[in-house]
Amino acid sequence: MRLNVLICALLLVLATPLGAQQGDGASAWSGATHSAVRLIAGGRNGDGAYRVGIEIRMKPGFKTYWRMPGDAGVPPVFDWTSSENVGSISLRWPAPKRYVDAGVTTIGYKERVIFPAVIRAADTSKPITATLKLDYAVCDRICIPAKAELTLKLPEATEQPLAADLDAFRAQVPRAKEPGKLDDKPGLVSANHVPDKGVKAVDLVIAVPAGVALHDVFLEGPDGWLFGTPTTLSSEADKVVLRLPIEGKPRNATGLLPVVLTLSAAPHSSEIRFDLDIPAPKP
């Protein structure tokens, strides 16, 4: 009897979000194994654009992935092509976390994440219906593919009941920053490829202003490039020197490599785009 009660209670907990209906500025939940997804409205900006969010909730211990998933997993794929009166959609990625399980490193979000987006109408005199087909994966010990189909007619009201939830994740989105710019957010001082003596890595000098806590550093390159987990070479009051191993690269690749550096930090994260110089090997 006790086991039956526990099973019924667990099923009730898992079913609660899936049973929620559209309303209060959100779509109905779309359920998958171990997770559920919905669209939420955050209201309109002063320029008329709509703030929306894609919320994924997962069972305790489960995670989903960032655009660069790490050693395993797959990034989510967002398909908005069935939407009505959408001129453009700009998706944002909150700063992720790094997880290491049984020697496998993955990058993503545990238990709950909201991906913020900004939608602009093709015709501002007509309403927008946002329709999303989402392919993603949730993972505990094994990864499980999942799908969701969501529809939400965007309300005209400036303020929405779930705006605070959306804004909390919008605040976690790294802020664009130029390389070499030093202010109250973490920044890039320099980046150098290290090819000598068999070492294949990138050394980064990161400025860490007073009051900033640097949590992690992620470096992304074009297809074929993979950068690993950073190690600290030196640390001072206002800067840290990190080495990121190059774990994958196209053969004989040289020249200027466009990369994206994400500095996950509190109170604000930074995103820096720059060209990394990969010199030709010495003869």
For residue 2, what pLDDT is reported?
A: 35
Q: In the prediction, which pLDDT does 283 show?
A: 62
Q: What is the pLDDT along the chain (283 residues), one digit of tens a residue?
A: 333 333 333 333 343 343 334 557 899 999 878 999 999 999 888 888 999 999 999 999 999 999 999 988 899 999 999 999 999 999 999 999 999 988 889 999 999 999 999 999 999 999 999 999 999 999 987 889 999 999 999 988 777 889 999 999 999 999 999 998 888 899 999 999 987 666 689 999 999 999 999 999 999 999 999 999 999 999 998 999 999 999 988 888 888 999 999 999 999 999 999 999 988 776 6
Q: What local confidence, expressed as pLDDT, does residue 14 receive? A: 41
The H helix count followed by the E strand count for the chain is: 2, 20
Contacts for 272 with CB less than 8 Å, ≥ 6 apart: 176, 177, 178, 179, 187, 188, 260, 261, 263
Provide the pLDDT for residue 142. Answer: 82
Spell out the domains of the chain, with CATH numbers in brackets: 20-173 (2.60.40.1250), 176-278 (2.60.40.10)
- For residue 237, what is the enclosing H or E element? none
Q: Is the dihedral of CA 10, 14, 19, 21 positive or negative?
A: positive
Question: What is the reported pLDDT for 198?
Answer: 62
Torsion angle (degrees, nearest 10) of CA 142, 16, 136, 166: -130
CA atoms within 13 A on the CB side of 264: 15
Rounded Cα gap, residues 264 and 269, in angstroms: 5
Quick one: residue 13, left, alpha or beta (phi over 0 = left, psi -120 to 50 = alpha)?
alpha
Angstrom distances, CA of residue 109 to CA of 64, 144, 172, 207:
5, 15, 12, 26
Give the tokens for residue 70.
């790490």
DSSP string covering 161-211: TTHHHHHHHHTTSPEEE-TT--SSS-EEEEEEEE-GGG--EEEEEEE--TT
pLDDT for res 7: 32
